Structure 1
Amino acid sequence: MSREQLVVQRARKSFQTGKTKLLEHRIHHLRNLLRFVTERRKDIAESVKKDLGKSEHGTELFETLGLEGEIKLAIDKLAEWAAPRPVEKSLLTISDEVFVHPEPLGVVLIIGAWNYPWAVTLQPLVGAIAAGNAAVIKPSEVSCHSAKVMEELLPQYLDKDLYPVVTGGVPETQELLKQRFDHVFYTGSSTVGKLVMEAAARNLTPVTLELGGKSPCYIDKNCDITVACRRITWGKFVNCGQTCIAPDYILCEPSIRSRVLEEIKNCIKEFYTDDPKTFEDYGRIINKQHFKRIMALMEGSAVAIGGDSDESQCYIAPTVLKDVTGESKVMKEEIFGPLLPIITVSGVEEAIQFINEREKALVIYVFSHDNKLIKRVIAETSSGALLANDCLVHFTVSSLPFGGVGNSGMGCYHGRYSFDQLSHLRSCLIKQLKLEGVNSMRYPPHTAKKLSWVCVAWVIVVHGLAADLLAAINVNCPP
């Protein structure tokens, strides 16, 4: 029996004790998870520094702060989320108790990503714990230092049978996917997402796939281009471009291309100095394999800004590419690095057409003062999210579902959406053994008289008189 199989068996056995159904148990572990993030802040920051070259403050801003917020929200709202949810009744159930009861799914597999190794691995865990599940946590082997810290320290705070951490590479992940889970939550590329979904299908296991893709960014010529370029530059080059919701490419009219290039060049200098290589808030590509992949994407495109690189340090400068078309190499896959192509279009109509000819993105960005133009992009495109006049910040709003559509993923999470995604929303109806005279309308034989009574009753319900009817029935026909 493999290590992975034993881990899943222990998790299921522990889940079957029923202890995770108690809200007190869930809150206890959520508080312990919060304590872990608070007490081990230095360990987390050091691991991310080794993996991605990110500064301590950068890790705080993009990893731990949002994670702490998600945990605190789940603790505060858990009783509300887990409570039975009354629903609208039908004619035949008007005197009954009808509600949705959230219940745990069972054992969840969480496969994390390397680009934000703590946030995108532990935020789904918050939902899994809150919903009352056991969870097997598989951090990405690519961010190996973060994975090691997670493996060593997390079991000191959480039940190691209910919430085990399994490290390793592709073979270990494949072995985990052979096991039966009640849900698989994967964050990563669309290519691997297909393999995860295929493996899960063998056990009819539902999946949440948080993928990526090429998120377009349209700049309207009449917007505040200076502000737009500041926000785009920040959104693109944070974490060295290794962000699933980073703007992948810019669409703009030829008349403003030179201005956009100049503004982005100024912003790169402002944010990262004249020498980003020596600036602590500009990170590194995760490894040499990804470095070579990103460098190869520049072939056939002209460098307008940046272009410097150092393979020994996995460093690629913030780079903007011009003379790019839809057929350029850099447009054939998600960049996931600090390259920003600019493609010219005649206007919003051509931009929408360009977007719709490609796979659905995780997010579409549009910068414009014109609310009608923004609403047109919303109406005529499809994506996981749409953000106007900023980048990335929709990820921070726990009341918005975060997830993709089509090639950019399926399912969503954050806040209550995490809880619901990792719960079974069970339909419940509790009927009374009375008012049999009313219920007899549905029994055979089915006559014209009974049908007429059903039609009358339906009219009463439609016109909102059902409550008065029920009160009258209860008075005249006591149990």
Structure 2
Amino acid sequence: MTSSTPAQPAAVVARLRATFRTGRTKPLEWRTGQLRRLRAMLTEHGPDLAAALRADLGKGEAEAYRTEIDFTLREIDHTLDHLEEWLRPEPAPVPPHLDGAEAWTVYDPLGVALVIAPWNYPLQLLLAPMVGALASGNCVVAKPSELAPATSAAVARLLPRFLDTDAVAVVEGAVPETTALLEQRFDHIFYTGNGTVGRIVMNAAAKHLTPVTLELGGKSPAFVDRGTDPDAVAARLVAGKFLNAGQPCVAPDYVLTDPETAARLEPALARAVTALYGDDPAAAPNYGRIINERHFDRLTGLLGSGRTVVGGTHDRDSKYIAPTVLGGVAPDAP
């Protein structure tokens, strides 16, 4: 069994913990073997995963590979190149009252890790944390995002074919499944997402004194100084913001500058959008879609917050919002 329903997380975690206690995941050979199998999954089924990302987010094939599939492959290769070195015990200082003793820092696995992935990079942000967990000799419960159902289904289908099913499990589902998972005791939890759920994760982890890694995103302003080349700056801003249809957590969400520079930057931004996506971004193969109707409605509700410099068109049926820049936005605008 490699996936579960809300009634099964306790059994899934218990099974993985039993595997960990045998010591099976500790040898370097097991760790590198799992990483190589994960690599094989990504290389052999890259087209399937790219198609799933296309279905969930409208991602073009080139973007799917660059930001999700190849990104994770590079993470695996870097880890394989350095893992043996990273695991070497390191000499540690000994206090004077223990003179004559020797000490080392030894890196041991924690046990069973839980990785909860978000929807905006549903493959990369599920598998890249798993690379670290497996390299560290841990068992892993992987929880894909239910908001990216095609990617979730692809991962649930493929991971058991390549990885050790006694040490890695996929749990699909939404809030009930995640809630049931968080009731279990894990040895580390890695969550990427919003602050509201991050608080829920940390609260659940605190009951078991489980260490957590929370990557909660936020706003990313860009400051444009006077004297810069507006076309060069605009090209970089557009490329950074409208990747993944503007949904990366580190995208430049708003620009701060002086009025004179803004006047030069606005037409440059419009030119940069056309240069990257053509006259009709809806038909551009490299421009994605909003993840769901709820977020589409939230975003279109913001379009009246300023003067439209470029874009502004949208279509709810296809969850398309054109690459859009607003000017003259008030500091207290939503």
Interval of TM-score (by shorter of Structure 1 and Structure 2):
over 0.9
> What does 1:408-427 align with in structure 2 at a 5 Å threshold?
none
Deviations 1:77-125 (CA, angstroms, capped at 9, x unpaired): 1111111112344444554322211111110000001111111110000
**How far, CA to CA, are the matches of 1:305 and 1:124 in structure 2?**
37
User: Secondary structure in 2 aligned to 1:102?
Assistant: coil
1:105 matched to 2:110: yes
* Aligned counterpart, 1:216: 221
Deviation string for 1:130-158 (max 9, x for gaps)? Answer: 00100100000000000000001110000
Please say if 1:299 is aligned against 2:330.
Answer: no
Structure 2 match to 1:149: 154
Q: CA deviation at 1:255?
A: 1.1
The residue number in structure 2 matching 1:458 is: none
Partner of 1:77: 82
Distance (whole Å) between structure 1 residues aligned to residue 45 and residue 207 of structure 2: 38
Deviation per CA, 1:328-372: give whole Å up to 9, x if none: 01xxxxxxxxxxxxxxxxxxxxxxxxxxxxxxxxxxxxxxxxxxx
Deviation at 1:228, TM superposition (A): 1.6
CA contact under 8 A between 1:237 and 1:318: conserved in structure 2?
yes
How far does the alpha carbon of each residue in 1:22-73 deviate from its partner, in whole angstroms, 9 at most, with x for none? 1111011111001111111011011001001111111111111110011111
**Candidates 133, 148, 151, aligned match of 1:128:** 133
Alpha-carbon distance in 2 for matches of 1:155, 1:214? 37
Deviation at 1:192, TM superposition (A): 1.1
**1:22-33 correspondence to structure 2 within 5 Å:** 22-33=27-38
Q: Distance in 1 between matches of 2:72 and 2:82?
A: 15
Please list, as runs of the form range in 1=range in 2, the aligned pairs for 1:313-332 lying within 5 A after superposition: 313-329=318-334
Structure 2 letter corresponding to 1:313: S
Say whether the 8 Å CA contact 1:30–1:75 is kept in structure 2: yes
Of 41, 46, 63, which residue of structure 2 is paired with 1:58? Answer: 63
Decide which of 6, 19, 25 is 2:11's aligned counterpart: 6
**Residue 198 of structure 1: which of 197, 203, 207 is its match?**
203
Aligned to 1:170: 175
**Where does residue 163 of structure 2 map in the other structure?**
158
Task: Give the Å deviation of 1:320.
Answer: 0.5
Please report the RMSD computed on the Cα atoms of aligned residues, expressed in angstroms: 1.2
Range with greater deviation from structure 2 (1-10 or 140-149): 1-10
- Runs of 4+ aligned structure 1 residues displaced above 6 Å come to none
Unaligned regions of 5+ residues in structure 1, if any?
Answer: 330-479
Instruction: Find out whether 1:48 has 2:53 as its counterpart.
Output: yes
Q: Does 1:189 align with 2:212?
A: no
Q: Distance in 1 between matches of 2:305 and 2:70?
A: 40
Partner of 2:274: 269
| Contact 2:114–2:186 (CA under 8 A) maintained in structure 1 | yes
CA distance, structure 2, for counterparts of residue 221 and residue 87 of structure 1? 51
Q: 1:225 touches 1:260 (CA, 8 Å); kept in 2?
A: yes
Q: Give per-residue Cα distances to partners, 1:150-203, cap 9 Å, x unaligned.
A: 001110000112111110111000000000001110011111111111111111
Please say which structure displays the higher CA radius of gyration. 1
Displacement of 1:238: 0.5
- Counterpart Cα distance in 2 of 1:225 and 1:154: 46
Separation of aligned partners in 2, 1:255 and 1:318: 23
Find the aligned partners of 2:230 and 2:97 in 1 and give their Cα distance: 60
**What is the correspondence of 1:459-478 to structure 2 with a 5 Å cutoff?**
none
Q: Which residue of 2 aligns with 1:405?
A: none
1:323: how far off? 1.6
Instruction: Tell whether the 8 Å contact from 2:270 to 2:309 is kept in structure 1 after alignment.
Output: no
Aligned residue pair count = 329
Q: How does 1:410-449 map to 2 (within 5 A)?
A: none
Whole-Å separation in 2 of the counterparts to 1:26 and 1:135: 12
CA distance in 1, matches of 2:201, 2:262: 41
**What code does the residue aligned with 1:320 have?**
V
* Mapped partners of 1:293, 1:184: distance in 2: 29
Is the Cα contact below 8 Å between 2:312 and 2:323 reproduced in 1? yes
1:237 maps to a residue whose letter is F
**2:250 is equivalent to residue 251 of structure 1:** no
Q: Which shows bigger deviation, 284-293 or 296-305?
A: 296-305
The one-letter amino acid of 2:118's match is A
Task: Indicate yes or no: 2:241 matched with 1:236.
Answer: yes
Counterpart-to-counterpart distance in 2, 1:171 and 1:26: 32
Task: Give, in angstroms, the shift of residue 222 of structure 1.
Answer: 2.2
Using the TM superposition, give the Cα deviation of residue 275 of structure 1 relative to its aligned residue in structure 2, in angstroms. 0.3
Distance in structure 2 (CA, Å) of the matches to 1:181 and 1:275: 48
